[in-house]
Amino acid sequence: MTENENLIEVSDLKMYFPITKGVIFQKKVADVKAVDGVSFTIKKGETLGLVGESGCGKSTTGRAILQLYRPTAGSVKFKDVELTELKGEKLRHMRRNMQMIFQDPYASLNPRMTVGGIVGEPLEVHNIAKGREKRERVQELLRVVGLNPYFVNRYPHEFSGGQRQRIGVARSLALNPDFIVCDEPISALDVSIQAQIVNMLEDLQQEFGLTYLFIAHDLSMVRHISDRIAVMYLGKIVEITDHNTLYEDPKHPYTQALLSAVPIPDPVIEDQRQRIILAGDVPSPIDPPPGCNFSTRCPRVMDICKEVDPTWQDIGENGEEHWVACHLYE
């Protein structure tokens, strides 16, 4: 597979969680539309940043790609293999190539297992290494993520948050995956530790040729690590383009509002620029508004926005792709 080929292809992905009523005879009364028709691609070796406010469906998208949640509808292809159709042993074998770094380093590590057991568990589950070979592989993985290889017999409570996240990264690398979903891997860490973890992830990407889906809130950090960025609002992606274009020339009103909230470390520029304050609250994913999901809060809303869902438009120039879903550009 060459660098320009798509490793991941997501098409019209939907993840609905049913709401039921009744104790004995449960009847579905509605759906929580956590992910509602998401499409994007990730090329081999690149990092796609996925941003948006809490509850917009970022983490659900990542889990649905890895089939930790079985999607309600849509297609997820990994190396041209349709993951949504795989079950049992075939899916288990494919999972060796796809791993996840979880958001909370305190909740994602089993407190009853040693570090050696946690990092080495994937090796045993997939029958790759046992005994001395497994121990040597675990020690090598700890070295790779910057931890002392002789920590194998310690327990998670003996480590700080940053060290625990490094253990989580080591576990995700155990099976030599091609693709890793980084589900807000730095949001639970101190600011002083966040840069260390991000730099480590970049180094690992260079060393092992990894492909990332990097989910985050911190827009400045996403710009640093991502090649392209997708902006998500209420279960839908509203804009995708490369990181420089998104920050210098955002097109969707929601993206413009998000970026206006990012502080600039220059008091003169910070004092002069205008913040975009969005009115109201995010609508419920149980009952999203008709037309564009952002129509209830958009400062540039038009009549058509309240009735018709906008289609994807490529408004990029000079051969650069810049996709946006907004009636302003139709």
For the chain, list residues with pLDDT below 50: 1
* Residue 90, domain member (yes or no): yes
Put simply, whether the predicted model's pTM sits higher than 0.85 gets the answer: yes
Question: What's the confidence (pLDDT) of residue 88?
Answer: 87
Number of folded domains in the chain? 1
Q: Is residue 23 part of a domain?
A: yes
pLDDT value of residue 64: 94
In a domain, 119, yes or no: no
- Cβ neighbors of 225 (< 8 A, separation 6 or more) are 47, 49, 198, 201, 202, 212, 214
The pLDDT of residue 127? 84
Q: What is the pLDDT of residue 223?
A: 87
145 in a domain, yes or no?
Answer: no
124, part of any domain: no
Structural domain of residue 182, as residue ranges?
A: 6-112+155-248
251: exposed, middle or buried (Cβ count in 10 Å: 0-12, 13-18, 19+): buried
Under a CB-based contact definition with an 8 Å cutoff, are residues 56 and 230 in contact?
no
SS3 category, 211? strand
pLDDT the model gives residue 270: 67
256 within domain boundaries: no
Give 318's contacts (C-beta < 8 A, 6+ positions apart): none
Cα gap 168→185, rounded to integer Å: 9
pLDDT for position 324: 95
What residue type is assigned to position 163 of the chain? Q
Q: Is 201 contained in some domain?
A: yes
Taking the C-alpha atoms of residue 91 and residue 104, their distance in angstroms, rounded to an integer, is 26
- Tens of pLDDT along 249-298? 899 999 999 888 777 777 777 677 777 888 878 888 998 899 999 999 99
Judged by DSSP in three states, 102 sits in coil
User: What integer pLDDT is reported at residue 2 of this predicted model?
Assistant: 55
pLDDT at 271: 72
Which CATH number do you get for residue 162?
A: 3.40.50.300
Is the residue at 239 inside a domain?
Answer: yes
